[in-house]
Amino acid sequence: MSVLVVGLSYRTAPLDLLERAALAPSAARVLEADLCRSDNVAEAVVLATCNRLEVYAEVSKFHGGVADVGAALAASTGVPLGELTDHLYVHYEGAAVTHLFTVAAGLDSMAVGEQQILGQVRTALRDAQDSGAAARVLGHLLQVSLRVGKRAHTETGLDRAAGSLVEAGIARGEAVVGPLSAASVLVVGAGAMSGLAVATLARHGLRRLAVANRTAARGRRLAAAGGGTAVPMTALAQALADADVVVSCTGAVGHVVTAAAARAAVDARGGRPQVYVDLALPRDVDPLAAHVAGVTVVDLEALGRHLTSGGASHEVAAEVAAVRTIVAEEVAGYLAEQRAQAVAPTVVALRAHARSVVESELARLQQRVAVDESVRAELEQTVHRVVEKLLHNPTVRVKELAGEPGGSAYAEALRELFGLDLGRVAAVTDAAAVPDQTGLSIPAASTTGLAL
């Protein structure tokens, strides 16, 4: 079995496609369950965020796994497979591990180094484990990825150097309405992203902060945490008119702020400029609102262009390099661990084979020669000690060598030399070798836009 990643993100797909492919947590769990019932997938974890949709799967075959995941993605999102294909990336085995660790470390985010992705990976893992979709293989892999993410934030200065989507959005807002210390800001929504927005905004010393949320109690708690006031969604129209900057991230289906609502708000403001920072996917703010005079809409697509075109600080570069070193170390360590574990069944089979030979020969001896019981016991111990000593160095060395690239060849040599039962070590050969039909020459194959 091998690890496969199939996904699309802001790097490969336009915002409107990401919006159409967005999955709610409940839909992600259904997708995982469907995948685990498919022919080539044993485990599955879906990572669905505001700018990516990825499936991590333990698969028995590369091409079969890609086909199963592609079909399930199309069925769950409602986006035709042919349309998805041009925007999907596929990573396999070592490349899949590298991609996951890079994502968990925040290096693949729009705002490089942002910490929210680590919580999203943790939530995806927990939910998949609770449903039984993630077990030994993906459970362990994603746990290691969480450790990689923590190392990235604790062992480097990435947190201090890197910004966030919220900060980037706020900066764009200030460029239009001026310093936030003299501005009124409305946050729509009270989820994790909204909490990050309130915490970030509070550091700017706003003139006024308001929070609107469908669940009044959550809205009040978040507003209190930021020193602001809560407003009911029924009073959203007035709250929009009062705000110089609106940060919206509700996760609702459909537009929370329509173009008509934005026009009414700016009219009530006497034409004073207003900025909408839309951090939601699907989008909370109708894109047509950007055509209203006096209204500026900054959505994820605009933030992505800003952040990837040099809008982020160049101070991040050195910290990114340090994090990449951590990722490389962790990938090497994980793959070495997997290779070492893969050889274990061969060692077990070798020892079982030796034990079987010893017991068979001792039984023959017992039939041919009458041996006192105490002598027989001593003889058995002596023979077993001899066999253990003969096998000690080969088994220790094959475990050590298995941790190196190409180390599986040593286990294969043992199986051939001792004629071990291949049925006992089928799991090893499945995990260590790339199926012939993949057409890939190395385990760490990685493809972007692979035809499904």
The residues that bridge with 103 in the sheet, in sequence order, are none
pLDDT for the residue 394: 77
Rounded Cα gap, residues 345 and 175, in angstroms: 62
378 confidence band (pLDDT: 50, 70, 90): confident
Contact 350, 422 (CB under 8 A): no
* Region label for 266, one of left (φ > 0), alpha (ψ between -120 and 50) or beta (otherwise): alpha
The residues that bridge with 5 in the sheet, in sequence order, are 56, 91
Q: What rounded mean pLDDT belongs to the chain?
A: 85
Helix (H, G, I), strand (E, B) or coil at 176: helix
Helix (H, G, I), strand (E, B) or coil at 280: coil
Range with the lowest mean pLDDT among 87-91, 97-101, 353-357, 446-450? 446-450
- Reported as a single tens digit per residue, the pLDDT across 141-155 is 999 999 999 999 999
User: Does 435 score more than 80 pLDDT?
Assistant: no
More confident residue, 112 or 7: 7
- Reported as a single tens digit per residue, the pLDDT across 337-360 is 887 776 777 777 777 777 888 888
User: Does 445 score more than 50 pLDDT?
Assistant: no
Please state, as a whole number, how many other Cβ atoms lie within 10 Å of the Cβ of residue 161.
Answer: 18
- Reported as a single tens digit per residue, the pLDDT across 36-94 is 999 999 999 999 998 899 999 999 999 999 999 999 999 999 999 999 999 999 999 99
pLDDT for the residue 232: 94
- Reported as a single tens digit per residue, the pLDDT across 384-412 is 888 888 888 877 777 777 666 666 677 77
pLDDT for the residue 359: 82
Rounded Cα gap, residues 172 and 275, in angstroms: 8
pLDDT for the residue 163: 63
Tokens of 214: 């469908």
Contact 251, 194 (CB under 8 A): no
pLDDT for the residue 426: 45
pLDDT for the residue 196: 85
451 confidence band (pLDDT: 50, 70, 90): very low
Q: Give the domain 2-161+443-448 fold.
A: Beta Polymerase; domain 2 (3.30.460)
- Span 159-172, mean pLDDT? 78
**Counting Cβ atoms within 10 Å, is residue 105 exposed (0-12), middle (13-18) or buried (19+)?**
buried
Tokens of 311: 């809008």
Contact 415, 425 (CB under 8 A): yes
Rounded Cα gap, residues 53 and 32, in angstroms: 13
More confident residue, 41 or 114: 41
More confident residue, 296 or 436: 296
- In percent, the amount of the chain with pLDDT more than 90 equals 56
pLDDT for the residue 447: 42
Q: Can you give the residue ranges of every domain in the chain?
A: 2-161+443-448, 165-311
pLDDT for the residue 112: 81
pLDDT for the residue 413: 74
pLDDT for the residue 441: 26
pLDDT for the residue 342: 67
Contact 268, 241 (CB under 8 A): yes
Range with the lowest mean pLDDT among 64-73, 168-177, 297-306, 440-449? 440-449
Name residue 306's amino acid. Answer: H
Q: Which residues are catalytic?
A: 50
425 confidence band (pLDDT: 50, 70, 90): very low
Tokens of 249: 């991230």
Q: What is the pTM (predicted TM-score) of this model?
A: 0.70
Phi, psi of 7 (to 5 degrees): -165, 180
pLDDT for the residue 434: 37
CATH 2.40.50.100 fits 165-311, yes or no: no
